[in-house]
């Protein structure tokens, strides 16, 4: 039997003062964000519907998109990345993972775990992005999905060529998945104008919100490919799934929003 009073307490000096971290995150939150996070509301009912609708409207503003397929997740930015890859990539998918560091490699690794055929396209984030090299590759090989990071935290570099890269990939028929975990709220992210198909971010970086929550948006084209897909995702969490039970079809993602 373990008694509650056996737990070691943290010294009161453990958090002696507010720590200002100057990394990508976690970042300080404004008092209004902290206050909002203390409210408890039922996760069911009209009130929560209003909250969800407001969250979606604000997320559309942040990503600069009018897509209907936008979600708040209870999970960190990495969970949103899993949602992007798990819904679009399967055994045999052809994936191009563009990387200049740790977070680009993460999506490469995720696509591999879904048994896709993945090509890693590495570049040095401190140099100009090799658009010619990408163009030549896309002329030679077809890809279903291209993944890349707008702001690569590990090499502290921003990819200013995102819109040209996305335009090139779209022209060659690939869906473009972009990690904006470090950049949403700190620099421009124009999802619709730049033709990005899936964009995601976490709470505790540029948005200055709480950790453990994230946002993800799918373009209508990307969502169509999710709904029309012929495979059952290997991961259960964060994947859209049609279930037929007693003749009723339930769209689980839409119900849980
Ligand atoms: C921090 C970070 C992530 C991971 O986000 P978590 O919320 O920590 O899971 C992904 N991509 C980039 C570019 C990041 O900076």
- What is the DSSP annotation of the chain? ---GGGSPPPPTTSS-S-----SSSS----HHHHHHTT----SSSHHHHHHHHHHHHHHHHHHT---SEEEEEES-HHHHHHHHHHHH--TT-EEEEEESSHHHHHHHHHHHHTT-EEEEEE--TTSPP-HHHHHHHHHH---SEEEEESEEGGGTEE-TTHHHHHHHHHHTT-EEEEE-TTTBTTB---TTTTT-SEEEEESSSTT---TTEEEEEE-HHHHHHHHT--S--S--TT---EEEETTEEEEHHHHH-
- For ligand 1, the distance from its centroid to the CA atom of residue 181, given in whole angstroms, is 5
pLDDT band at 243 (very low <50, low <70, confident <90, very high): low
For the whole model, what pTM was predicted?
0.91
Percentage with pLDDT > 90 across the chain: 74
- What is residue 5's predicted lDDT score, i.e. its pLDDT? 81
- For ligand 1, the distance from its centroid to the CA atom of residue 61, given in whole angstroms, is 21
- What is residue 253's predicted lDDT score, i.e. its pLDDT? 52
State which ligand 1 atom lies nearest to the alpha carbon of 182: 15
| Residue 221 pLDDT > 50 | yes
| Residue 245 pLDDT > 70 | no
- For ligand 1, the distance from its centroid to the CA atom of residue 24, given in whole angstroms, is 9
Pocket perturbation via mutation, ligand 1, pick of 151, 202, 215 by most ligand atoms within 8 A of CB: 202
Name the residue with higher pLDDT: 235 or 104: 104
State which ligand 1 atom lies nearest to the alpha carbon of 153: 15
Pocket around ligand 1 at a 6 A CB cut-off: 24, 76-78, 103, 149, 151, 153, 179, 181-182, 202
Mean pLDDT of the chain: 91
Distance from C-alpha of 169 to C-alpha of 163, rounded to nearest angstrom? 10
| Residue 184 pLDDT > 60 | yes
State which ligand 1 atom lies nearest to the alpha carbon of 78: 9
pLDDT band at 254 (very low <50, low <70, confident <90, very high): very low
pLDDT band at 25 (very low <50, low <70, confident <90, very high): confident
| Residue 196 pLDDT > 80 | yes
């Amino acid at each position: 039997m373990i008694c509650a009073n056996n737990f070691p307490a943290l010294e009161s000096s453990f958090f002696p003062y507010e720590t200002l971290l100057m990394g990508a995150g976690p970042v300080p939150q404004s008092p209004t964000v902290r206050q909002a996070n203390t409210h408890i509301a039922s996760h069911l009912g009209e009130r929560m519907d209003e909250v969800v609708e407001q969250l979606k409207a604000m997320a559309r503003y942040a990503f600069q998109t009018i897509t209907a397929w936008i979600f708040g997740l209870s999970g960190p930015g990495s969970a949103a990345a899993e949602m992007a890859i798990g819904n679009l990539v399967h055994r045999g998918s052809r994936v191009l993972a563009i990387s200049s560091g740790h977070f680009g490699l993460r999506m490469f690794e995720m696509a591999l775990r879904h048994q896709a055929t993945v090509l890693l396209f590495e570049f040095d984030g401190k140099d100009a992005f090799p658009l010619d090299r990408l163009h030549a590759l896309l002329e030679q090989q077809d890809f279903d999905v291209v993944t890349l990071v707008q702001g690569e935290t590990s090499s502290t570099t921003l990819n200013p060529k995102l819109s040209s890269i996305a335009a090139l990939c779209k022209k060659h028929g690939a869906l473009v998945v972009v990690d904006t975990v470090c950049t949403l709220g700190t620099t421009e992210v124009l999802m619709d104008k730049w033709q990005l198909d899936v964009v995601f971010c976490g709470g505790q970086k540029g948005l200055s919100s709480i950790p453990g929550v994230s946002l993800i948006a799918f373009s209508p084209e990307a969502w169509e490919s999710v709904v029309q897909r012929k495979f059952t995702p290997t991961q259960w969490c964060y994947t859209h799934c049609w279930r037929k039970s007693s003749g009723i079809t339930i769209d689980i993602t839409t119900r849980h929003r």
